[in-house]
Chain A
Amino acid sequence: MRDLLYGMSSLPSDYFAVFGIPVTLALDLPELQRRFYVLSKQYHPDRFGRATAAEQQYALDFTSLLNDAWRVLRDPQARAEYVLQNNGLEAGDSRGNPPPAELLEEVFELNMALEELRQGEAEARGPIREALDRFLALREALDSEREALFLRYDANPAAETLRQLRALLNRRRYIENLVRDAQQALS
């Protein structure tokens, strides 16, 4: 296993390179996981308990990069944000932004219900649950849209596709926050 380290002085340049794959948005997760396990078994610092300090350092650096990469790439949202960021398209923080126009009314109603629940009105739970169901459905629709954009980008990595993806991710993040607020209020 030490041969693997021989001559390797620089770390892979990006998360995809760690796994030895090209930049891909529509990833085969089981395959990625298989590679994660194989690479872990090869490079984990525990495999280098008797190695030189330099080899141990490389094992530590490589494995932390591998773990970071696995954490980001296995999550479609984080993966897409990573690719956007690498293309200079920083995703904005959606918290301060106004809600997407088509959601204005929904968000207003949810906030009302959340406020009522905070005031101790238990009957507000009904409307919150209904809103939650709608947001979950919306999130699901966005997820299939996102998957379609992933495939389109993989076939033809155009900047325009990335911009569409960024808009979609922002919307999805907004909805994700609503889902979380509603779930927290109900739990």
Chain B
Amino acid sequence: MSVFQIDFGSPDSGQESAPPRVVGIDLGTTNSLVAFLDLTAPKVILGPDGAALVPSVVSFPAGAEPVVGAAAQQALLADPANTVYSAKRLMGRGAADVAGELALLPFPVAPGSESVIRLAVGGREVTPPEVGAYILRQLKQNAEAFLGEPVTQAVITVPAYFDDAQRQATKDAGRIAGLEVLRLVNEPTAAALAYGLDKRQNGTIAVYDFGGGTFDVSILKLQEGLFEVLATHGDTHLGGDDIDNLLLRVALEDIASEWGADLSGNHEALQRLRRAIIDAKHELSTRPVTTITFDDGGREYRRQLPREVFDQLITPIIERTLASCRSCLGDAGLQPAAIDEVVLVGGSTRIPLVRQAVRALFEAEPHTELNPDEVVALGAAVQAGILAGTVEDHLLLDVTPLSLGIETMGGVVSKLILRNSTIPASATEQFTTAVDGQRNVLIHVLQGERELAKDCRSLARFDLKDLDPVMAGMARIEVRFLIDANGILRVSAKDLRTGKEQAVEIKPSYGLTDEQVEAMILESFDKAEEDFKERQVRETRVEADRILAAVEKAKQDEAWFALPPAERAAIDLAINELLLSYHGDDYVLIQQKMEALDHASRGLAEAMMNSAVRGALKGTKIE
């Protein structure tokens, strides 16, 4: 190896043989982070600020570029009306789904938010997938800076209890951010994967995942590298946010009676009060008592909050998670004692009462060795390794959390794929026409456990179009419903009389259309690529400076003069070519010229090395 040799890293030295790296991303309600598989162990990637966690906050200052993460968190206080947090709770939702929630949020919702929520911030409208995309793009850039290569493919985690629309919205966010989402993985399953890598090989484990906005519980069977989910249960609207909102309501009532003032319309004050409450909540995880301190315009609110009172307040919330756990055990056909290990995931599992309740329910000491904020991203990185083929001895068999059905006569749901079915899973159903000459059939697909369509969540309407006009009841269309490994529905149809593929038009009940997503990509993604290229060019020039300086210095060495003239000429030529490419913006070309110079100067480096060794040995006796 020559002294000038520089590890160029990928993409260049990787050549065609090394496929692009797949990262694992935990897109959380409160915080997000990215991890990758380093040789065999997953590692979290630190951002430029040295922190792994990127707060899931995006600020949209009027007339300026959006700000993401810790900087945006500052804007929560300074510019609350234009700063979006907890957007994950709005993913794949319509305004009616989250009306109660929206009332608490400081940013207004634009009209036309029935199937996709549009937040009016910074003089524009943004949808939750776009907010997610800004966070994802930040993580992508962090990963690119850290790994020194473009990152275009990712595994992203979602709450296990996310429905089809919420999953699709998460995938859309990835696409908008310029990421190909190779797989959506359920968060508790990812956590099990992260733990399972170095834990016991066989057994039954429960994952209790209580995060900022969602709750999931999954029960898995581990057997020789196979992670088989037996059952999953949860609530996509139950998390630390709910605890904050609960305390917020108490504090607002206190303040209303103490000061005679209603703060609920004052977003700036609300954000500061929320911050004070979150700090107090965190403190209660390690101390028996805390004080919520808040002042506003010279008035001060102080409330002592002992842990017992806090525990009492949050008991109904914890009880809801326990009810979920019991349902999950029932679905898995297991008694609590059958659980060998329990894994805790999510920031809210730091609450002592939560740990105590989980321990009591499963009769097992919960695992907390891995950081509950990081474990999901680590698992996502392992799954990325499985998909990339670098992890061959592990495999996830996950399930669909909700039953899938179609609406039949009288608004009744006929279930086609039951919840907790291992995915991918499919079902076929035959449809016919009711009227002579009928040209299309509309199929309403729903998700949920209830008997009536109005109580389930509408997923989409599928329109079988351009049917051959035949007598009523003569048409025979076979429709195949397939839930893929991401938990997302795919539908295909075949005309059984002709054997031909039948066209299906999809009208999703919630979410963005393909065209809308495309348009959003063009807005944000191009610039991200430019940014990446620019950074690469700058970094490559720094490397070039180093190699040029090293060669110039070497030309002062006696070894240079001892070189054959042809070799010296080749080195000078390589230097010139590197200098020519240096000011261009093609960083790959600069890297190539750097390598050429490195190659040309290999003989010089060796000669210098030899003389250095001779110099070092001078005076030492060789026995």
Contact = CB atoms under 8 A, between A and B. Distances in A.
Interface of A: 37, 40-41, 44-47, 49-50, 60, 63-65, 67-68, 70-71
Contacts of A46: 183, 383, 386-387, 395-396, 485
Contacts of A44: 395, 397, 485
B370 interface: no
Contacts of A63: 424, 485
A49 B182 CA distance: 8
Contact of B484 (A41, A45, A49, A71): A45
A131 to B, nearest CB: 23
Contacts of A40: 226, 395, 397
Nearest to B389: A50
A45 B485 CA distance: 7
Contacts of B223: 37
A60 B480 CA distance: 13
Given A49-B388, A60-B484, A60-B485, A65 B395 contact: no
B386 A41 contact: no
Interface in B188-234: 223, 226
A159 to B, nearest CB: 25
Interface of B: 19, 22, 182-183, 223, 226, 383, 386-389, 395-397, 421-427, 482-485
Contacts of A49: 22, 182-183, 386-389
Contacts of B226: 37, 40-41
Contacts of B425: 64, 67-68, 71
Contacts of A64: 423-426, 482-483
A179 to B, nearest CB: 16
A71 B483 CA distance: 15
A37 B427 CA distance: 21
Contacts of B421: 67, 71
Contact of B395 (A41, A67, A70): A41
A40 B425 CA distance: 13
A67 B19 CA distance: 30
B448 to A, nearest CB: 19
A64 B388 CA distance: 21
Contacts of A41: 226, 395
18 contacts: A37-B226, A44-B395, A44-B485, A45-B484, A46-B383, A46-B387, A46-B395, A46-B396, A49-B22, A49-B183, A50-B388, A50-B389, A63-B424, A67-B421, A67-B423, A68-B425, A70-B422, A71-B422
Nearest to B428: A68
Contacts of B423: 64, 67
A37 B395 CA distance: 10
Contacts of A47: 395
